[in-house]
Amino acid sequence: MSQQGTYPAPARRRLVLWRHGRTAWNVEKRAQGQADIPLDPVGRRQARSAAPVLAAFEPAFVWSSDLQRARHTAQELAALTGLEVRLDARLREYDVGIRQGTTFAEFRASHPDVYERFFTQEDYRVPGAELPSEVDARMAAVLGDAAAALEEGRTGVLVGHGAALRSGVLAFLGAPPELRDMFAGMANCAWTVLQEHPHRGWQVADYNARTLPGESSALADEMPAPHVSKNADPAG
């Protein structure tokens, strides 16, 4: 028993979900999807600045999407911790099909019927894209595997993409997808902490934490008015 007369809190397992740094397409508000877009100079600086904060978690492992914007973000943390980055394609962003490389205005102009269905039909498949439910399934699987790989009191860091990470949080926690609108999109190089409670299971302990609030581009899920989507985020 401690001097205050209380038992010390048990060590808890944690998953830290870290979004990649900024890219040129983030600035231009283009849907990146699984296009392999590199970090821009600001994004590289964001990753270098945030990495020491993530290193303070003393992670047991670092897993990353194999897309270079995530991989290069993860490598900044690996350089500080001595850990080898494990690449996992399940951590990739949504495959957005014909939306890839377009802004919402361009998408609407070129595919008005698809645009309308995207914003009004639940779990709608844009031509060539993944279903939101398919993304939920792969993200829940990789987060579940990461949690299973953690020993008591240890932390794992998973580096990925804004839209897929937000969907992954809900899917991993078993929350209905329609609750997605209750969570703001993650900013570039921001992170979310999931922590295991001894009685209540996994919980959101921190969300969209960041060290560089003045340098992040638009949030990952910023949507054009007046529509409200039941489907995917811009996928950056």
Per-residue pLDDT reduced to its tens digit, 175-228: 998 898 899 989 999 999 999 999 999 999 999 998 554 544 444 545 565 454
Q: pTM, whole model, 2 decimals?
A: 0.87
pLDDT of 216: 46
Nearest to 191 by CA among 69, 59, 50, 31: 50
Contact 167, 177 (CB under 8 A): yes
Q: What are phi and psi of 111, to 5 degrees?
A: -140, 65
Segments of the chain assigned E as strands? 14-19, 61-64, 85-87, 155-160, 191-197, 201-209
Active site residue ranges: 20, 93
Return d(Cα 192, Cα 213) in angstroms, integer: 15
**What are the φ/ψ torsions at residue 206 (nearest 5 degrees)?**
-155, 150
Distance of CA 11 to the CA centre of its chain: 25
CB-based burial label for 134 (10 Å; 0-12, 13-18, 19+): middle
**pLDDT string in tens for the chain (236-residue length):** 444 445 455 589 999 999 999 999 999 999 999 999 999 999 999 999 999 999 999 999 999 999 999 999 999 999 999 999 999 999 999 999 999 999 999 999 999 999 999 999 989 999 999 999 999 999 999 999 999 999 999 999 999 999 999 999 999 999 998 898 899 989 999 999 999 999 999 999 999 998 554 544 444 545 565 454 555 566 67
Cβ-Cβ contacts under 8 Å for 37 (sequence gap 6 or more) = 23, 24, 25, 67, 68, 69
Q: What is the amino acid identity at position 87? A: L
Contact 159, 18 (CB under 8 A): yes
Q: Report CA Rg, the chain.
A: 18
Residue 232's pLDDT is 52
For 197, the token pair is 């409670």
- Work out the number of other CB atoms within 10 angstroms of the CB of residue 171: 24
**What CA–CA distance (Å, rounded) separates 57 from 150?**
13
Determine the residue type at 131.
Answer: L
